[in-house]
Structure 1
Amino acid sequence: MLSLDLHTHTRFFHGRDRLAERFDPYGHAALAAVARRRGLDGVALTNHDYYRPLGSPSKGFLSVPGIEISTTKGHVLVVGSDPPTRTKKGAITPAEAVELAHDRGCVAIIAHPFRNSTIRETDVEFDAIECNGKHPRTWPLVREIANERGIPLVGGSDAHYPVEVGRAYTKIDAEPTPEAIVGAIRAGRVEPAVAGGTLARLLRRGYKRIHKRKGHLPLDPTPGVGAPPED
């Protein structure tokens, strides 16, 4: 059984591609170092609208290729051995993102479905839906969507800073290869998990305020059956 954070970023800023090219290897190494200390077997690198092969920063640690595509309706995680190297923000539909993922042997996952997204309202056939570590109070609602669509749940921290990695992650019954991980997600051999502790609670509270102020997270659901431990 692998423990993987399926939604991570190597940097905390958006845009500025030239700076990203210089920073990404260092951000990747820092991300992996923190992930290993927290008992994770690996991460999926899912930077916004681009993928750069960075390899594994340390022996025995798995870095799964990926990209977070900004579609016309919200964000989609594409994870597998051969994700697209670049997409244009807001230029493709959710259906096109899924088709692109499948053409390249990857899975397409609905990212943070209750933050700045209406993808959950489409009838596109995704491979999984994410329980996002930045606002686990939405997890009961995400579970309802997963049950209605008949798709698996995965977990990801959405880390932009190394300290955030592993806040939410996925337990995967698979061998440590991108191809095996894709197969396990499609077969439903996955389970989301959320980290506890003071730091995780403080991060969740901070992001909740940020996203509400931006108008990206209008919902404030009451935790119900299947909700993770809360603040």
Structure 2
Amino acid sequence: MSDMEMTDGGNSRARWLKAELHAHCSLDPTDCRICPHSPEELIGRAAELGYRVLAITCHNLDIWTPGLAEYARARGIVLLPGMEVAAEGGRHILVYNFRTAPENLDTLAKIRARSGKDTLVIAPHPFYPGPMSLGKRLTCNLDVFDAVEYSGFRVRGIDFNRRGVACARAAQKPLVGFGDIHYLWQLDRTFTWIYAEPEVSSIIAAVKRGLVRVESSPLGWGEAAGWWASTLWGNAFGWRPAPPVAPEPEVR
């Protein structure tokens, strides 16, 4: 599907935009040991693969800057401000365009209070095993979330997305698919088409309205094993750079 297909008539610039809104890079304070690529390398590879929307969602760090957004724009990509915050005792939540420090988003109550029409909240891998997933905190707080993620980390025969899909359908929440990118080879496997104009506000509104289509192909068993091997090795022996300094957020 081309990002130019199904354009509206008249003056609307809306079209299907290929999007990845869950990706990490070498600036991630948590995953810098296992993410060898820089933000610019991630943007460049995404552009080569036809992506038009990208969010670099480091753990508890929004690395969006005007300069990085311009770098992406020059390559045909709209860069959304965003991060993957740890809330409610370390549960992962994807937040976009909040432009505030992560400590202001470390509980569901804080996220709820700061949410608005120009922000977006997505539940990533909500029912995957492990303490980082929301589980019942999603089903008990559905009003906080604008969409549910269909995670690209799956193999044939094992897919922990089923409960998330059922939850999204029951709650009539949009389902969006992303790769949780830690290695560039993960790009182009699971992603979402968003029908929107190529600007942040239109993209956020389109996701909330459910103007999305998910494309996903499972990882091979060898790829999944390689991911875990690289991750375990990187966490054990990888070179960890000094923690980056977060850009000053806009006051909200």
Give the TM-score of the pair, scaled to structure 2: 0.68
1:26-65 counterparts in 2 under 5 A? 27-52=38-63, 53=65, 54-58=68-72, 59=74, 60-65=76-81
Equivalent residue number for residue 151 of structure 2: 132
Count the aligned residue pairs.
Answer: 199
Runs of 4+ aligned residues of structure 1 deviating over 3 Å after TM superposition are 12-17, 202-211
Secondary structure of 1:134 counterpart:
coil
Q: Relative to 1, partners in 2 of residues 1:68 and 1:98: Cα closer, same or farther, differing over 3 Å?
A: farther
Structure of greater Rg: 2
Whole-Å separation in 1 of the counterparts to 2:229 and 2:175: 25
Offset of residue 27 of structure 1: 1.1
Consecutive unaligned residues in structure 2, runs of 5 or more: 1-15, 232-252
* Distance in 2, Cα, partners of 1:16 & 1:191: 28
Structure 1 gap ranges (5+):
212-231
Other-structure match for 1:5: 20
- Per the alignment, in what secondary structure is the counterpart of residue 206 of structure 2? helix
Paired with 2:182 and 2:20, the residues of 1 have a C-alpha distance of 12
* Partner secondary structure for residue 214 of structure 2: strand
CA distance in 2, matches of 1:174, 1:35: 18
Q: Give the Cα separation in 1 of the matches to 2:154 and 2:186.
A: 13
Greater alpha carbon shift after TM alignment, 53-62 vs 181-190: 53-62
The one-letter amino acid of 1:48's match is H
**For residues 130-169 of structure 1, what are the structure 2 equivalents within 5 Å?**
130-135=149-154, 137-169=159-191
Which one of 123, 129, 144 corresponds to residue 141 of structure 2?
123
The 3 A distance-change label for structure 1 pair 187 and 67 is same
- What is the alpha-carbon distance in structure 2 between the residues aligned to residue 32 and residue 111 of structure 1? 21
Letter in 2 for 1:186: K
Aligned to 2:50, what secondary structure does the other structure show?
coil
Residues 1:110 and 2:132 aligned together: no
Q: Distance in 1 between matches of 2:177 and 2:62?
A: 20
The one-letter code of the counterpart of 1:50 is: L
Residues 48 and 13 of structure 1: is their aligned pair in 2 closer, same or farther, counting only changes over 3 Å? closer
Contact 2:139–2:167 (CA<8 Å) still a contact in 1?
no
Matching residue within 106, 115, 123 for 1:92: 106
Counterpart check, 1:76 vs 2:93:
yes
SS of corresponding position for 2:38: helix
Task: Give the partner amino acid of 1:111.
Answer: P
**1:204 CA drift (Å):** 3.5
Question: Partners in 2 of 1:114 and 1:140 — Cα distance?
Answer: 8
* Cα 1:107/1:162, change in 2 over 3 Å: same
Please say if residues 4 and 169 of structure 1, whose CA atoms lie closer than 8 Å, have aligned partners that are also in contact.
Answer: yes
Residue 203 (str. 1) matches residue 217 (str. 2): no
